[in-house]
A and B are shown apart, each in its own frame.
Chain A
Amino acid sequence: MDTKRTTFQNRWLPYVLLAPQLAITLIFFIWPAGQAVKSSFEREDPFGFSTVFVGFTHYARLMQDPAYLDSFVRTAVFAVAVTVVSMVLGLLFAVAVDRLMRSARLYTTLLVWPYAVAPVVAGVLWFFLFNSTTGIIPYYLSFFGVRWDHTLNGTHAMILIIIAAAWKQISYNFLFFLAGLQSVPNTLMEAAAIDGSGPVKRFFDISLPLLSPTTFFLFIVNVNYTMFDTFSIIDATTEGGPAQSTNILVYKVYQDGYLGLNLGSSSAQSVLLMLIVIVLTVVQFRFVERRVQY
């Protein structure tokens, strides 16, 4: 991509124009990130009077801490589940809407609504729906012999946050898949129809392969979302419980640092998270930009 080169009369003007954005990035991102890196190598006394440089101690401890390693596994399960559920459903809805002619816009609007709902609200919404004493879903589940209680049952809690997180993300995936499907040239589908391929076969032989760049992009974005952007959903529903069963990495950073006041370990965890984001972003840019398609 070649952007147009603009020439400024005043050589300071471009810097002035950039300054607000740079200031925000510096103050709210670069500086705190730097602080986190710094404090991940330090230990602070309980009252905050002194700090000692401890090198990689926090990192080493994390690598041996079963609670942290468990959280890693849980995060992976959570991320994969949310990504798969939300992408499959998003694609399903996109295929359904793509077949419509006149009502497509109405359905698109309705399907995008959940994305406008604040994460906390989404969390609370599902929390109430699944509430074991007053919720409607546990009531119906009881007919199937399921005693739903996400405050005691870790698996139930995990399912709850997966549903809550995926529900919001379906809208996003739906939009991208719909755009992807609509950009598949119609004549390709017609050619395939003449070539003797039915609607289902056409979808798997033509649409799906042509959607591969979209799919890959969404996969990375969704993993990123579930790993780092689901804090508020968890905070509003399970708060990491019961018994750590929904304590994913981002939430653990908050718990250890903000509630447990173990700033050094919390910082080390957030630095590790940052590394994961960096890796995912690099992967995304290397492959998505270069299109994985054909």
Chain B
Amino acid sequence: MASIDVESVGKIYTGGVRAVTDIRLNIADGEFIVLVGPSGCGKSTLLRMIAGLETISEGEVKIGSRVVNNVEPADRDIAMVFQNYALYPHMTVYNNLAYGLKNRGTPKSEIDARVAEAARMLEITQYLDRKPRALSGGQRQRVAMGRAIVRKPAAFLFDEPLSNLDAKLRVSMRGEIKRLQRRLGTTSIYVTHDQLEAMTLADRLVVLNGGQIEQIGAPLEVYHAPASTFVASFIGSPAMNLVKGELHGDRLAIGPAVIGLKGFAPTSGAVTVGVRAEDLRVARADEEALPFRLEYTEELGSQRLIHGAVGDQQVTAAVSPETELASEMRIAVDARRLHFFAADTGKRLPGNVPAEAKLAPAEPVV
């Protein structure tokens, strides 16, 4: 058990390519942090620097109160779960789990007890004598988890551990990882490019883009108050609608359409306006609305996504499946549900933070 502090960390590869810039992140003991971002955003590099598999070019990483910049991976008291599991193919499951303990000179009886406990927890007891190739993808994943658990490390590092599994298994393993982490209370850093995985697992999300942190926050905070247009478009499915608009006093012009903001305008002039698909609805006849030209629909069962254009900008709205459709429609939005971003930098403009962003998550954050 330990906290992890990442202080102004950067990574420059030989040849001068910069992968990560000035990352500052304080992770509390027992916290589940998810690093999320598109491929190439530096999230894996950051994780590997914490693990000790990459050298740290700038800044410091502390595990507990110890600076680990020059500490070997083995001595950092961490365990890592790899994307391809990295199970030793010539060893049985038992030996895969026991290898790290044997290397540290743990007594045989202690090894047996810990392996048995981890195997029971992960329900892989009956596979202990098998080689990894005789296991299914999900079972291998469990063994990889087990190898991390038996060590009882200060922190778990997960490098996209579920991306090699099929969709169904991914969902169930996701739940299992969360359950195990809660039960063991071990500080965890989890890297993924899947925003849904990130949302569901994290105590706090760290959204990375181009080697820099875009936003740190609880999942709901990031979802309801994205700090930039990048975060807005990356977190949430379907992606948040981002359209160009212009503020004139209390009125917002999007293309030819103009709607009143009831006092929620944060500034004036050109802005990028963000609105979640589920915050859009078909307008009543008597309210101000945006003209919407329907292009195609996607049925999700519980809701229906309607894709179309407002003026010349693409917009997607999530409506109930019973909604009547027409080629020309009018859609409305509650002004409180709009997100405003600076047109040039893409940063969120102050004001107008929805109440949901401050909601406590379902489970208490440690």
Contacts and interface: CB of A to CB of B under 8 A. Distances in A.
Contacts of A201: 103
Given A294-B131, A294-B133, A196 B82 contact: no
Given A190-B82, A191-B147, A195-B100, 7 more contacts: A187-B82, A193-B72, A195-B74, A196-B74, A205-B99, A209-B90, A294-B90
Given A194-B74, A195-B74, A294-B133, A185 B103 contact: no
B249 interface: no
Main secondary structure on A side of the interface with B: helix
Contacts, number: 64
A185 B82 CA distance: 12
Leading 8 A-B pairs by shortest Cβ distance: A195-B100, A196-B103, A196-B74, A187-B86, A191-B86, A294-B90, A209-B90, A194-B73
Given A194-B78, A194-B80, A293 B90 contact: yes
Contacts of A206: 88
Interface residues on A, range: 20 to 34
Nearest to A101: B14
B113 interface: no
B89 interface: yes
Nearest to B132: A294
A190 B83 CA distance: 12
B104 interface: yes
- Name the residue among A206, A209, A294 with the largest chain B CB count within 10 angstroms: A294
Interface string B83-98: 1101011100000000
A200 to B, nearest CB: 12
A192 B104 CA distance: 12
B196 interface: no
A192 B53 contact: no
B100 A194 contact: yes
B82 A191 contact: yes
B51 interface: yes
Nearest to A197: B103
A210 interface: yes
B103 A195 contact: yes
B108 to A, nearest CB: 17
A188 B80 CA distance: 11
A269 B359 CA distance: 90
A294 B89 contact: yes
B84 A187 contact: yes
Contact of A190 (B53, B103, B104, B151): B53
B80 A191 contact: yes
19 contacts: A187-B82, A188-B88, A190-B51, A190-B80, A190-B82, A191-B80, A191-B82, A191-B86, A194-B52, A194-B74, A195-B74, A195-B147, A195-B151, A197-B99, A197-B103, A205-B99, A293-B90, A294-B89, A294-B133
B86 A188 contact: yes
Contacts of A205: 88, 99
Contacts of B88: 188, 191-192, 205-206
B286 to A, nearest CB: 62
A191 B100 CA distance: 9
A197 to B, nearest CB: 5
B90 A195 contact: no
Contact of A210 (B73, B78, B84, B90): B90
